[in-house]
Amino acid sequence: ASGGNVVTFSAPAAPTPTPTPAPSSSADACTTSPSLPSTKPTAANTGLPAGTSLVASGDINANTAGQVITAKNVTGSITVSANNVTIQNTRITLAGYWAIRIMDGVTGTRIIHNDITSANGAYTGITSGDAFICGNYITKFENAITVGGNTIIQSNFIEKLASDSPTAHFDGIEV
């Protein structure tokens, strides 16, 4: 048609997609809290990282603020009586009452990527009131983790609860 206007239609510009952050692994889930792992925690992807060289140790009393306990093979228990203690990449094998005990009033404890077990089914793997507990493999306890307030528990694997008491009441996480 003569004298008409030409109208041109074009497709709207495609919106720029928002990048989706990659899901974190179990290890990454322990570096940022709270964070979900990309896969469900299992015995294979929690606990002591493969290839970690360990130094033998007996009981440890972590009584220095900011102390880092790493790459130990503890036969006994760890008592935390100072703030901001980190226990990481360590194997704790207990034959007593608890593997890791955080004393009342202590804050900022981080328990990350450890194998925590007992020989015969001890009472408690970890007892705490203020802690970040992540990426641990915990086995053979009547109570794997016993917590009070202000504790974050994420990406741990708890299995094979056990006790040497015939009247045991089993709890993976006891509050």
The Cα-based distances of 40 to 1, 128, 161, 173 in angstroms read 67, 24, 19, 17
Backbone angles phi, psi at 131, to 5 degrees: -160, 165
Q: Tens of pLDDT along 49-73?
A: 999 999 999 999 999 999 999 999 9
At 80 the pLDDT is 98
Handedness of CA 124, 42, 106, 54 (dihedral sign): positive
Q: Is the pLDDT of residue 148 over 70?
A: yes
DSSP string, 23-41: PB-HHHHTTSSS--BSS--
How crowded is residue 139: how many other Cβ atoms within 10 Å of its Cβ?
Answer: 20
**The pTM of the whole model exceeds 0.85:** no
Residues pairing with 115 in the sheet? 91, 137
- Which of the four pLDDT bands, split at 50, 70 and 90, describes residue 14? low
The single-letter DSSP state of residue 49 is P
